[in-house]
Amino acid sequence: MALQDVCKWQAPDTQGLSPHLSPAGGWAVPRGCDPQTFLQTHGPRLAHGTTTLAFRFRHGVIAAADTRSSCSNYVACPASRKVIPVHQHLLGTTSGTSADCATWYRVLQRELRLRALREGRLPSVASAAKLLSTMMSRYRGLDLCVATALCGWDRSGPALFYVYSDGTRLQGDIFSVGSGSPYAYGVLDRGYRYDMTTQEAYILARRAVAHATHRDAYSGGSVDLFHVRESGWEYVSRNDACVLYSELQKLPEPEKQEEEASEAHPEPVTPHGAGDGGELSVGCRPGDSGLPAETETL
């Protein structure tokens, strides 16, 4: 006797409608078609892009990124977070596959926490970058895609490292990663100075990401801005990229500001005969050096 006769079980009516979903593996597909083979052959190419940047200056490290997570022409999330805190003095920008970046940052947070418990102090930015590159280099060639900029402040001051999933580790002052990085580099290379003020650094980072979102189809949403100081990292702001771009267009360019400043304070004209060892005919009193007042005070 069959088990279904003992249990008095009856097969459900497959012809009528059912309020319940089909179990896993029970979805109807065309005959002779394997779903995985179909997606691999005819499925969309899952291209992705982003714009992240970081630069080091005298007041710390600035990290900025857009918030659009894209999958080919599909915007998966318009308000994602691409700057991940690692500990109170260390941040990391994420570019590549979102799942890979989130997973490896969890691993890095765990390893740095264990090292801090053993040594009694937080590890340096250089040791964190070396640890991450060493761990990911073991998976080279396995389609792992993680490109990050580690931004932090340690005993040596502000530090910035670029780490890629194949084990590459670079130290520098400016890094931009993602499909919008060529546009961001164009703005950064033009306006970057190590001795910038904090507000100038904020404007430069916002301008670079906003210009990249305007030109790069895979970047957009909003602009997240972080600042790593000696006291720890700080979440500065989140601004809509379109609104920010239109507002930045109204601001004068850095070169125009310098021209206006030079017109307001023109350089003194050297009188004739000053370079041939003779006495000056006009413009010099006894004891006057002939230099501008701003230069004499330095």
Q: Name the catalytic one among 50, 51, 94, 148.
A: 50
**Model pTM?**
0.69
DSSP 139: T
End-to-end CA distance of the chain: 105
CA-wise closest residue to 128 among 234, 228, 206, 223: 228
Dihedral Cα 242, 247, 248, 252, nearest 10 deg: 160
Question: CA-to-CA distance for 283 and 270, rounded, in angstroms?
Answer: 10
- Domains of the chain as residue ranges with CATH: 52-249 (3.60.20.10)
Whole-number pLDDT of residue 41: 64
Local confidence band at 52 (pLDDT 50, 70, 90 cut-offs): very high
CA-wise closest residue to 63 among 159, 147, 151: 151
Whole-number pLDDT of residue 276: 45
Q: Give the residue-averaged pLDDT of 227-232.
A: 93
The structure tokens listed for 255 are 């070169």
Whole-number pLDDT of residue 57: 95
Whole-number pLDDT of residue 7: 58
DSSP 31: T
pLDDT tens column, 144-172 = 889 999 999 998 899 999 999 888 999 99
Residue 165: CB atoms within 10 Å: 24
Q: Is 202 exposed, middle or buried (0-12, 13-18, 19+ CB in 10 A)?
A: middle
Q: Which residue has the higher pLDDT, 209 or 250?
A: 209
pLDDT tens column, 207-223 = 999 999 998 888 888 99
Q: Is the pLDDT of residue 269 over 50?
A: no
198 is catalytic: no
Output b/e per residue, 67-90; b: 16+ Cβ within 10 A: bbbbeeeeeeeeebebbbbbbebb
Q: What is the mean pLDDT of the chain?
A: 78
